[in-house]
Structure 1
Amino acid sequence: MDNRPIGIFDSGIGGTSVWREIEKLLPNEDTIYLADSKNAPYGERSKAEILQLSIKNIEFLLARDCKLIVVACNTATTNAISYVREHYSIPFIGTEPAIKPAALRSKSKTVGVLATKGTLSSELFFTTSQNHAGGINKIVQVGTGLVPLIEAGKVHAPETKELLQKYLEPMLAEGMDYLVLGCTHYPYLIPVLKEMIPAHVEILDSGAAIAKQTMAILKENNLSAPPVKKGSHLFYTNANPDILASFLTDVEAQYKTAYLDF
Structure 2
Amino acid sequence: MNNRPIGIFDSGVGGTSIWKEINGLLSNEDTIYLADSKNAPYGEKSEEQILQLSIKNTEFLLAKDCKLIVVACNTATTNAISYLRENYDVPFIGIEPAIKPAALQSQSKKVGVLATKGTLSSSLFHYTSKNHASGIQIIEQEGTGLVKLIEAGMANSAMSKRVLEIKLAPMLAAEIDYLVLGCTHYPYLIPVLREMLPENVKIIDSGEAVARQTKSVLEQNGLSNPSEGKGKHHFFTNADVRILESFLKGEKSNVKTAFLDF
Q: Percent identity?
A: 67
Measured against aligned partners, the alpha-carbon deviations of 1:175-196 in whole angstroms (never above 9, x if no partner) come to 1000000000000000000000
2:261 aligned partner: 259
Deviates more, 1:227-236 or 1:71-80: 227-236
TM-score by length of 2: 0.98
Give the distance between the partners of 1:161 and 1:234, measured in 2 at CA: 32
Residue 29 of structure 2 corresponds to residue 54 of structure 1 = no
- 1:104 CA displacement: 0.3
1:147 aligned partner: 147
- 1:134 CA displacement: 2.3
Measured against aligned partners, the alpha-carbon deviations of 1:51-74 in whole angstroms (never above 9, x if no partner) come to 000000000000000000000000
Measured against aligned partners, the alpha-carbon deviations of 1:67-96 in whole angstroms (never above 9, x if no partner) come to 000000000000001111000110000000
1:123 aligned partner: 123
Measured against aligned partners, the alpha-carbon deviations of 1:95-132 in whole angstroms (never above 9, x if no partner) come to 00000000000000000000000000000000010000
TM-score by length of 1: 0.98
1:208 aligned partner: 208
1:78 aligned partner: 78
- 1:258 CA displacement: 1.2
> Aligned to 1:141, what secondary structure does the other structure show?
strand
Q: Structure 2: any 5+ residue segments left out of the alignment? A: none
Amino acid across the alignment from 1:69: I
Amino acid across the alignment from 1:235: F
Give the distance between the partners of 2:251 and 2:51, measured in 1 at CA: 30
> Aligned to 1:139, what secondary structure does the other structure show?
strand
Give the distance between the partners of 2:251 and 2:59, measured in 1 at CA: 26
Give the number of equivalent residue pairs: 260
Give the distance between the partners of 1:259 and 1:214, measured in 2 at CA: 29
Measured against aligned partners, the alpha-carbon deviations of 1:6-52 in whole angstroms (never above 9, x if no partner) come to 00000000000000000000000000000000000000000000000
Amino acid across the alignment from 1:136: I
1:224 aligned partner: 224
1:33 aligned partner: 33
How do 1:160-179 and structure 2 match up within 5 A? Answer: 160-179=160-179
Structure 1 consecutive aligned stretches of length 4 or more whose deviation exceeds 3 Å: none
Give the distance between the partners of 1:85 and 1:135, measured in 2 at CA: 32
- 1:230 CA displacement: 1.2
- 1:228 CA displacement: 1.2
Amino acid across the alignment from 2:223: L
1:105 aligned partner: 105
Give the distance between the partners of 2:92 and 2:229, measured in 1 at CA: 24
Residue 196 of structure 2 corresponds to residue 196 of structure 1 = yes
Give the distance between the partners of 1:203 and 1:156, measured in 2 at CA: 17
- 1:229 CA displacement: 1.9
Give the distance between the partners of 1:251 and 1:32, measured in 2 at CA: 15
Q: Structure 1: any 5+ residue segments left out of the alignment? A: none
Amino acid across the alignment from 2:35: A
Give the distance between the partners of 1:69 and 1:4, measured in 2 at CA: 11
Amino acid across the alignment from 2:143: G
